[in-house]
Structure 1
């Protein structure tokens, strides 16, 4: 797995970043708007740097680089709002080089050196002879398709053909049928190449939009960190920071969707064409929302032309719309996913990023599959559930005996495998529906004992956890503290050679079936709240422990637990007295930045199964309707982004990359989208989805209820939004 650019790509990125920073300045952009919206100095400079040769094959005198390399350049162009049809000219040059031959070598030379601006006509001019063309008022050449022919059209250009438009671009509606035309290709291979080029344009414009969106958020975050209101930076207000955090997840997710689509094309993934459509659709929306939210951060100043943020807001909307309505890309993805529509795709060349989990991970998954096939009975499978309700003691024990209980944790007797295999193991159990938290909490508690527990605890408790003979629950939350675990009031008071614990814990899930609880207590009320905490292991069988059930609408049980004069020896303390925060950090190492991509994927698959079963009005099934396909495709896009954000967090941890809130982004985004999609797919497949009929209907039904809890588990979405704003956007701390 790799999310890094190669050394060569990083060099290309830095080169173009410097160039754009120097030439595509806000002042230069405004000056270009006053002319034909193409900065000729910038254009010639791009030619000198080889921008227009990027995708021209080496045998035709170009650089012969891949689509991913061009996307890297386009992201920097988007970040700096570089004026002019950069993506269109890059791809027009490629078409002229591959189809034009020696007869058009001089024309190609003028394009790649930046002397001539070129563009693309996206739609067949046999059907649409008059159409809008990106930079049509400035482009001297336009490559177009007319039926089975690929044409090189000569356009006089000139600002007289431009008309006022949303972002003051060189947009023009051209009568392409009236222009001087030269046929440069007239066979199936040529038309397929042109169709593939339009698909590549979607990826390049999506990359530019990702760069634009992130820069808009960066400007907003900087402004919010400096602008004061009511005596403090406005960035401290969650109403300012949290929407920006949401937008950042969408923008980063869009960038990764572009990368994934390019990788899929290179790998021959049958869903590659659909993912190209999703990447274009996603980034068109994400960039527009991010830029508008950024402008909102500036308040009234954002509406003025003295601030630059309006430039991002207008271009974020205008750039993709030259093709048409981006919602049609979502419909297109639906046809490609569920209607069997096929499309020509570009030869993308070498791709450095990689989302493969590796052979070790696949081997572990295969072993788990075999284990489950050999050991899970139909009766067990009936009991499977995502919550503590799905815990099966005999299966838990067998997993321990097979050394599959603590995969990747040698300290607990587990096998030594890498982080990708460890994550894949969790995903394998999840695919089988055995995603109960008993094992993960036992892992967390066991590791804490292994690193911070006494010899007595290791002998009496840890040995049982490692053998699969005992499990534990977490005693963190309290009725009045919610996510603020450091506000714990449950007291631990010295009592002879031990401690007396008194208090109440809320949401002690699993307490009715666990043997121990990992308890956070207050041992010093006279110091700042995070300094007066100590952790203990408390036996659930101890005198004074009472467990009271609390039932949820998600078909699961949690508990409120009471501790009245509960005695524990000092040897059952974890870490130093008043050192509870440090001890908790051991457990927090096991936060693998997971997402809810698995449950989301299962929900989409279940909804698809129902859509293939439900009869549509008139003839056919629900899956045949464009609206149903589009909604399923939209949900699938959220699955893809959730998984990519999770992979990025996993990779960053494995490769010791800086922590830029990648984990919180994966968790928060996926939980929010899980609920959004569960709600929509429940509606799409209603009224069948209202039932709890075994199979797909029951799963869609359960997912809607399950999704509500995911926004709360492990810290609420609001807590994670604050972490994202602070760590990833550099905004002031929004939590007390």
Structure 2
């Protein structure tokens, strides 16, 4: 897996960034209005080779890949470059591909920045009058007319400035009224032209990702300097949390562009749908980003004194020249679910790679082989996504094959899988319908015991854990503290003989009814800061004074409230130093790999697709309905974005890269999308989805209930939003 640019691409990005910072400053952007075209900037970009990125070398260009062009476009979006850059990049490539000697002179002038060329989206035989991106300054427009690709020469007097939303150089032109030359005809020429439009979608999507990111940066900076009620407004969760949500959307959109290019490079069957989704997503997320960012400025955002309004208007102006972005989602639905063909551009080299690797595939194959050989139909009947799916026999068999504690380091006795291998393994378990939270918690407990436990504790507990004979649960949350584990009040008092007495209550002790031990965080010193007065213990759940009371959820799972009344344990069952519980707990972070809910989202989407094929709507399968296709495509988009954000988290940790709350982003974003999509698929397939009848209807029903807890367990979305705002956007701390 790789999320890095090549060294050459880093140098290219830095070059364009420096140039655009100087020559596309907000002062220059304002000065370029109302035409929206900065001729000096355009000449400078040409001199840097920007306009020739996608032109083949044999035609005088740089012959670089589509990914290189999106790097340029992201910087252009960040700086609101004044000129039809995406249109010009596509037009230059089309001139090189279709024009030949007839357009060599024009192409040369386009690459030198002396002329601008653009293209028309619709067939001019049907729609001769069209809005053209950059039409105000384009002396040539490439267009389709029936089976022909034409070059229309547009004289200066026909290019009339028109006041528009964001002062961009669009113009409405009657393309039937000007001289035209047939460049090429036939299916191949039409496919090349159509592929150019697909390329434009990705270039605009990348530019919109740049606009959205910079808008959030401006908003975060303002929220760090603006005070209200004697506090920086960035400390208000009403400000910081929406920005955190949109940061995930913007990053997800950038990665969806990358995925589309990766799919093109790999020849993936979903590549056409991925392009449409990337375009739709980024048009939508950029619009949300600039609106929320402007809102952060309050009334000042409405004035022209602050630059945020420029981002607000440009975020809408860039994509809308291609029409309503909602059509791209509809198009994605047809491409993914109705086999609509798309002419696809050549991607060129693509360094970014989302492949988990051969080792990851090997562990997946091993798990699938294990289930085929060891799991009976009777065992499968007991599978459940919660702790209630725990099967002691299967647990021991997995341990015997070293498939139980996959993330546990080898020095503890686990498999020691990499983040990538562990992701593949979790996907394999999900495909098998087996979810094992018991193993995930137990491996964390065993790591802490190994790192901080006494020899007596290690000898007493670790062997039976590693043999898969027992499982452990967590005693962190309490009735009055929830996600704030450091507010624990369950008391551990040291007796005269050195042993400990534990009194108190723990809430949501999932699996306590099945577990042998609980890892408990207890208050041992009430007179210091709350996070400094905690100590960690292992407590046998069969000890005198322990009571386990069931708490049932509407998710068809059981959790527990556990009571501890004078429970006695020896000091040897303490983990780490007295009052050092926070440091002890930190050992569990070694097992954190930025996990999300993509594996559940994928299974849910598959269930939704299956049910849409079964259900009949107005005389035909629901999957053939355009609205259903679009909603399934939106669910696929959310799945892909969740998966890519999670991959990014795993990659930065595996490669020791800077980590800006990428793990919380993966958890929060995927859990929220899991919930909204579960709700939507339940609606889409109603009333069949109300049933718990075996098959996809039952799965949709189950996923809807399961998704409710995803935004709560493991830290609520609100807690993670605060972490994202602080670490991802640099906002002030929003938690006490």
Same fold (TM over 0.5): yes
Which 10-residue stretch deviates more, 53-62 or 400-409?
Answer: 400-409
2:85 is matched with which residue?
A: 86
The answer to whether 1:423 aligns with 2:423 is yes
C-alpha distance in 2, partners of 1:120/1:718?
46
Change in Cα spacing, 1:422 to 1:160, as seen in structure 2 (3 Å) is: closer
1:393 and 2:387 matched = no
Alpha-carbon distance in structure 1 between the residues aligned to 2:530 and 2:415: 38
**Structure 2 contact 237–734 (Cα < 8 Å) conserved:** yes
1:560 aligned to 2:551?
A: no
Give the CA deviation at 1:159: 9.1
Name the residue aligned to 1:28.
Answer: 28
Tell me if the contact between 2:137 and 2:159 (Cα under 8 Å) persists in the aligned partners.
no
Between the aligned partners of 1:180 and 1:605, the Cα distance in structure 2 is 52
What residue number does 2:312 align with?
313
SS at 1:302's partner residue?
Answer: helix
CA contact (8 A) 1:411 1:447 kept: no
- 1:683-698 map, 5 Å: 683-698=683-698
How far apart are residue 510 of structure 1 and its match? 0.3
Structural RMSD (CA): 1.0
* CA-to-aligned-CA distance 1:141-191 (integer Å, 9 cap, x gap): 111111111111111246961212111111111111112111111122111
Aligned to 1:647: 647
Name the stretch that deviates more: 534-543 or 143-152.
143-152
Report the Cα offset of residue 37 of structure 1.
Answer: 1.4
In 2, are the aligned partners of 1:85 and 1:118 still within 8 Å (CA)? no
By how many angstroms is 1:482 displaced? 0.9
Q: Deviations over 1:604-652 (max 9, x none)?
A: 11111111111112x2111111000000000110000000011000111
Matches within 5 A, 1:189-228: 189-228=188-227
Matching residue of 2:630? 630
Matched, 1:456 2:470: no
Alignment match, 1:239: 238
1:382 maps to 2:406? no
State the partner residue of 1:68. Answer: 67
Tell me how far apart the structure 2 counterparts of residues 249 and 155 of structure 1 sit (CA, whole Å): 43
SS of the aligned residue for 1:124 comes to coil
- Range moving further from structure 2, 165-174 or 328-337: 165-174
Q: Provide the residue aligned with 1:534 in structure 2.
A: 535
The separation in 1 between residues aligned to 2:691 and 2:407, in whole angstroms, is 40
Asked if 2 retains the 8 angstrom alpha-carbon contact of 1:138 and 1:159, the reply is no
Contact 1:406 1:412 in 2 (8 A): no
2:680 maps to what in 1? 680
1:169-568 superposed matches below 5 A: 169-409=168-408, 410-495=410-495, 496-568=497-569
How many Å separate the matches in 1 of 2:216 and 2:642? 20
* Aligned residue runs from structure 1 range 138-177, under 5 A: 138-157=137-156, 161-177=160-176
Q: Does the aligned pair in 1 maintain the 2:407–2:591 contact within 8 Å?
A: no
Distance 1:19 1:5 in 2: 19
TM-score (ref. length: structure 1) = 0.99
Of residues 431-440 and 333-342 in structure 1, the stretch that sits farther from structure 2 once superposed is 431-440
Alignment deviations for residues 321-344 of structure 1 (CA, whole Å, 9 cap, x no partner): 101010000000000010010111
| SS of equivalent residue, structure 1 residue 313 | helix
Q: Residue by residue, what CA displacement relative to the aligned partner does 1:340-381 show, whole Å, maximum 9, x if unpaired? A: 101110111000100000000000000000101111111111
Give the distance between the partners of 1:669 and 1:490, measured in 2 at CA: 32
Q: Which residue of 2 aligns with 1:571?
A: 572
- Check the 8 A contact 2:477/2:485 in 1, yes or no: yes
| 2:135/2:159 contact within 8 Å kept | no
Q: Deviations over 1:526-567 (max 9, x none)?
A: 000000000000000110000000000000000000000001
CA deviation string 1:435-466 (max 9, x = no partner): 12000001100111111111111111111111
Distance in 2 (CA, whole Å) between partners of 1:423 and 1:673 is 19
Please give the secondary structure, in 1, of the residue aligned with 2:620.
coil
- For 2:302 and 2:179, locate their aligned partners in 1 and report how far apart those are by CA, in whole Å: 43
1:596 aligns with 2:597: yes
Q: The residue matched to 1:600 in structure 2 has which SS? A: helix
CA 1:458–1:110 in structure 2 vs 1: closer, same or farther (change >3 Å)? Answer: same
Q: Is the 8 A contact 2:88 2:116 kept in 1?
A: yes
Unaligned stretches of 5+ in structure 2?
Answer: none
Query: Partners of 2:269 and 2:297 in 1: how far apart?
Result: 44
1:488–1:520 CA contact under 8 A, matched in 2: yes
Rounded to whole Å, the distance in 2 between the matches of 1:406 and 1:21 is 50
Map of 1:725 onto structure 2: 725
TM-score by length of 2: 0.99
Tell me if the contact between 1:389 and 1:436 (Cα under 8 Å) persists in the aligned partners.
no
Q: Hey, what's the Cα distance between the residues in 1 that align with 2:617 and 2:732? A: 52
5+ residue gaps, structure 1, are none
SS in 2 for 1:589: helix
**Dislocated runs of 4+, deviation >3 Å:** 157-160
Displacement of 1:518 in angstroms is 0.2
Query: CA separation of 1:416/1:502 partners in 2, compared to 1, >3 Å: closer, same or farther?
Result: closer
